[in-house]
Amino acid sequence: MILTGQLGEVMKESAQAALSLVKARAIELGIDPILFEKSDIHIHVPAGAIPKDGPSAGVAMFTALVSLLTNRVARSDTAMTGEISLRGLVLPIGGVKEKVLAAARAGITTVLLPARNRKDLEDVPEAARKQVRFVWLERVDDAIAAALVADDGREDRGVTTRPPAALADREPARSA
């Protein structure tokens, strides 16, 4: 894996954890494990006004990698945050209020948050809470179900698996 851009050490660890989890679940996700031996994965996080050095990007990185490697589109009206464990648990994060307010300002209609942060929703102004739908994540599978569109273009209701052979003819070099 190649990591470039504005990433602090914790963010690099989040990217590595996301890739390790995707590799561990490759067959379940319909990804040919050979793809990891024959391909480089390059994650670039461009510089911006907001520092990026927390573990909160784990869910988003995992979801982006699954989207890339299964060729499933991520919903454009959805934002997500959450730290991940190597077993696929979604762990709590800080800054829920700020993240939800930013999502609402950006016109996001669905926000995926760690279930363990449910108590933090009381800090979010009621107007912002009414603007978005919340999906509470216990495991990364919950994020995949809520954030990725199914192979047939419909909203997903769970992990859609695809036989590993489905990726055999794909070009290995893509970027997330």
> Which sequence positions are flagged as catalytic?
56, 99
Pairwise CA distance, residues 137 & 143, whole Å: 6
In contact, 83 and 93? CB cutoff 8 Å? yes
Pairwise CA distance, residues 14 & 56, whole Å: 8
Pairwise CA distance, residues 16 & 67, whole Å: 16
**DSSP conformation class of 51:** -
Specify the 3-state DSSP secondary structure of 1.
Answer: coil
Pairwise CA distance, residues 73 & 63, whole Å: 10
Pairwise CA distance, residues 45 & 6, whole Å: 6
